[in-house]
Amino acid sequence: MPALNVEFSDRELEDLRQIAKERGTSMKALVREAAAADIARHRALQEGAAAFRQFFSSHADEFAAAFPDDEPPAKNEGRAA
């Protein structure tokens, strides 16, 4: 399995040791779990954003009708001739 060397300050390393000890786990497992949780959170946010974009684009006309003040001006609108 590929590995990654990560550098921590002395303070961070001591904090990791303490947290791992309190949780009854190894520092390696603690850091791996934290990274895996962040990866899962990132993926969920990406999926949520994609679902929102899909929903918004499929209902764009409804949003435009409901919130006309939030629509961008037309290309020729607002310019003096």
User: So what's the pLDDT on residue 75?
Assistant: 77
User: So what's the pLDDT on residue 78?
Assistant: 58
Q: Is 31 exposed, middle or buried (0-12, 13-18, 19+ CB in 10 A)?
A: middle
Is 0.85 surpassed by the pTM of this model? no
What distance in Å separates the CA atoms of residue 39 and residue 78, rounded to the nearest whole number? 45
Strand (E) or helix (H) holding 42? helix 27-58
User: So what's the pLDDT on residue 79?
Assistant: 56
Mean pLDDT by 10 residues, the chain (81 residues): 93 97 97 97 98 96 92 72 52
* Pair 30, 15: CB distance under 8 Å: no
User: So what's the pLDDT on residue 64?
Assistant: 92
User: So what's the pLDDT on residue 80?
Assistant: 58
